[in-house]
Amino acid sequence: RSGAGIDALDAVTLSDAFLRGELTPLQVVSHLLSRIDRLDPVLGAYIDVYRDQALRQAEEATAAHRAGRPLGP
């Protein structure tokens, strides 16, 4: 899957895509952080973005999925 439209997917669709191996949590978080970088200078919606923490947790979730131990339903 390309990055286009990831931000429009709901949690159930994302979870299904993770289970099918079509997307990873790391891909989704990276896409959303890029979107924040692109839009926040105009919108000013975020005070703090915990980029390192988000990427670390996404890497952990991706590894868990690959090991057959997804962190969520």
Place of tokens 């973005």: 49
Say if pTM beats, i.e. exceeds, 0.75: yes
Give the residue, 55 or 70, on which the prediction is more confident. Answer: 55
pLDDT at 70: 86
Task: Measure the N-to-C terminal CA separation of the chain; round to a whole number of Å.
Answer: 21
Q: How confident is the model at residue 7 (pLDDT cuts 50, 70, 90)?
A: confident
pLDDT at 17: 94
| Rounded-to-integer distance, Cα 21 and Cα 55, Å | 18
In terms of Cβ atoms closer than 10 Å to its own Cβ (0-12, 13-18, 19+), residue 17 is: middle
pLDDT at 48: 96
Summarised one tens digit per residue, pLDDT across range 18-67 is 999 999 999 999 999 999 999 999 999 999 999 999 999 999 999 999 99
In terms of Cβ atoms closer than 10 Å to its own Cβ (0-12, 13-18, 19+), residue 63 is: middle
